[in-house]
Amino acid sequence: MNTKNAIQVENLTKTFGAFTAVNNISFHVGKGEVFGFLGANGAGKTTAMKMLIGILKPSSGNALVANFDIATQADSVKKSIGYMSQRFSLYNDLTIKENITFFGGIYGLNKADIKTKTHALIDDLGLHDEANKLVGALPLGWKQKVAFSVSLLHDPQIIFLDEPTGGVDPITRRQFWEMIYREADKGKTIFVTTHYMDEAEYCNRVSIMVEGKIEALDTPKNLKTTYNADSMDQVFLKLARNLA
């Protein structure tokens, strides 16, 4: 397989009994790329992502994430990736500092590192006054920013974001994407799922999953040309309708 890519997926399939959630998908994500992984609810996005982050075993096919095989080297995969879930990733009854200490700890960071990173993170986000407050008391947008920063603590090469901006206001979404770009500029690979089609336009390339298969994969610009659409929203609708 091509080892230049951050993620290399070949014929990946996941079945649950008679139901095929992910049907023979193949794609790759280059290093430093912002890759949008789109699809309607139930299209198989989350199942595919769970296989890539090493918590679900594929039924067949294989995939390399950071050059580690997801089926046989899940432990190494886990060390090389950051993950932030659509559901909230931090503990509400812990303060920001305690969350950072905890997650830093389980990724094996030492005390000195955790201290430096905590300061840096709080400086970056301008959260000096809130550092010792319970996370549950923060507005959602801030929580998501903190959660994103926490998923970067162990300096992963690839960051998986599962609908990171769900329920967040447009301004905060914009700021969130600025954070994503900053990380991409540092050479990190971003793999992001989203419901918001305007966000799809921010990605270098997007794939659109329909009923377990990847039906389209290209840059947003090329997709719009191919499907003769003004926006990604239209591309998505056309794809979904054609297949319905």
Taking residues 111 to 150 in sequence order and writing x for each that binds another protein by CB under 8 A, - otherwise, the string is: -----------------------x----------------
Does residue 51 touch another protein according to CB under 8 A?
no
Q: What is the DSSP letter of 28?
A: E
Q: Which is nearer to another protein, 154 or 205 (CB)?
A: 154
Stretch that binds another protein, among 51-59, 62-70, 124-132, 172-180 (CB under 8 A): 51-59
Is there binding between residue 56 and another protein (CB under 8 A)?
Answer: yes
Q: How many residues bind another protein (CB under 8 A)?
A: 30
Q: Does 22 bind another protein (CB under 8 A)?
A: no
Task: Read off the tokens for 172.
Answer: 């905060």
* Residue 105 touches another protein, criterion: CB under 8 A: yes
Among 85, 157, 172, 175, which residue sits at the site for another protein (rule: CB under 8 A)? 85
Q: Does 69 bind another protein (CB under 8 A)?
A: no
Structure tokens at 84: 């932030």
C-alpha 198/C-alpha 217 separation (Å) is 17
Candidates 36, 39, 44, 54; binder of another protein (CB under 8 A) is 54
The residue within the footprint of another protein, chosen from 4, 11, 42, 57 (CB under 8 A), is: 57
Residue 75 binds to another protein (criterion: CB under 8 A):
yes
Tell which one of 4, 11, 26, 55 touches another protein (CB under 8 A): 55
Tell which residue, 243, 166, 231, 174, has the closest CA to residue 201. Answer: 231
Indicate the residue among 75 and 230 with the shorter CB distance to another protein.
75
- SS3 category, 211: coil
Closest listed residue to residue 220, CA positions, set 241, 237, 240, 202: 202
Minimum distance, C-beta of residue 88 to another protein, in the bound complex (Å)? 6
The CB-of-76 to another protein minimum distance in angstroms stands at 9
CA 24 to chain centre: 21
78 near another protein, rule: CB under 8 A: yes
Residues 76 and 53: their CA atoms lie apart, in Å, by 10
- Alpha carbon of 177 to those of 58, 137, 202: distances in Å? 31, 23, 8
Please state, in angstroms and rounded to a whole number, the distance separating the CA atoms of residues 34 and 95: 31
Q: What is the DSSP letter of 95?
A: B
**Cα 19 to chain center, whole Å?**
25
